[in-house]
Structure 1
């Protein structure tokens, strides 16, 4: 499997593949979003279980 851009040789330069730093920035953003989402969900479930035990 390759990450190379399959474009016509005549149109080279009009559309370039994203740089590694851009891909890394997107991956870091996705990981941060995932961590925040899972932490928030875990906190909500913990809150619900605590409130369920009190009532």
Structure 2
């Protein structure tokens, strides 16, 4: 699975983002950063990750 491989290749915040994208691709989806960026940022904000990652 891409998500598992991605997690081994990255660390920290990059790992979270790459794993998120890889998980979508594992499920057969195509990722466009323009389309998912707001949804992604909103979801990690709700989970408290924006603050932990230092994303403004």
Structure 1 and Structure 2 fold alike (TM over 0.5): no
Q: Which has the higher helix share?
A: 2
The structure with higher relative contact order (CA 8 Å, sep 6+) is 2
TM-score normalised by the chain length of structure 1 = 0.29
